[in-house]
Amino acid sequence: MHTKLARSLTAVACTLLAGTSLAMAADITPQRLANPEPHNWLMNHRTYDGQRFSPLARINRENVKNLKLAYAVPLGGGAGNEWLEATPLVDEGFLYLTDMWGVLYKIDGRSGDVGRIVWRMEPKQEQPATNRGAAFWNNLVITPANYPARIIATDKETGKMVWETNMVFGQPELRITAAPLVVKDKIIVGAAGGDRGVRDWVAALDPKTGQVLWRKYTIPAPGEPGSETWKGNNNAWQTGGGAVWVTGTYDPESNQTFWGTGNPVPMFDPFYRPGDNNYFPSSYSQRT
């Protein structure tokens, strides 16, 4: 049986044909994540190595010029000048994506000519913030929300919140903007907000409960490797930045996850951040 499968990179959907079932979609298991399905897009980069490449061939360089708008779904609307940066996840014709208010939408795109919002999960954000999307774990959709920074698990079928974990850890300006990464029995997330004077980190949560299992900072504290490069007596490392803006990748062979980091803070002020060779990793790796 074939139905039309829609993928949307903003509020606009283009129509693709793909094999799918009208039955309730199965849980998104670690096995499904590790073995990408051509007609589905089950994680932010699609694959653990972050290639973001679809093997579908129905749209190609010869016919791409014939693409046209199939339908549009209005999202957000809580303020002016809004934007979308989330990569939609797709499971058997249903799209899951977030807007800048942290609202998670489930959209039925199976007909190919209309997008019906099945449910929306409203995290009650106080103001908008960049949000780059969701992750699947079994029957849950895992998303970030901000003001305050949180990770939320939502039931994939009902749209009801299952658990919510506050991730501020005493840093009120901290944000979580990257989509989470699910690795086996852990949800890996990265902190942002570094330009506001935050010491950023990568953390792992238990997907069943939301409990934080471990958290590793991207800026070394005194006594840690590289801390000697953060000179001076003003403790610049405490607000050193190292934001994690983009979802990381995972190497099953070495059982390591890799996350890129942003700039140190402040960037250009040698008085508040002395030293000319601060240890500041351009990428961060952690065994899961």
Dump pLDDT digits (tens) for 179-212.
Answer: 999 999 999 999 998 788 899 999 999 999 999 9
- Give the chain's mean pLDDT: 87
154 neighbors 135 (Cβ within 8 angstroms): no
pTM beyond 0.85: the answer is yes
> Rg of the chain's alpha carbons, rounded to an integer?
20
Query: By three-state DSSP, how is residue 239 classified?
Result: helix
Give me the amino acid identity at 86. A
Q: Are 234 and 165 in contact (CB under 8 A)?
A: no
Predicted pLDDT of residue 136: 98
Distances (CA, A) of 284 to 86, 103, 182, 243: 22, 29, 17, 11
pLDDT, tens only, 17-67? 233 334 456 999 999 999 999 999 999 999 999 999 999 999 999 999 999
Average of per-residue pLDDT across 240-261: 93
Question: 258: exposed, middle or buried (C-beta count within 10 Å: 0-12, 13-18, 19+)?
Answer: middle
Which pLDDT score is estimated for 25? 66
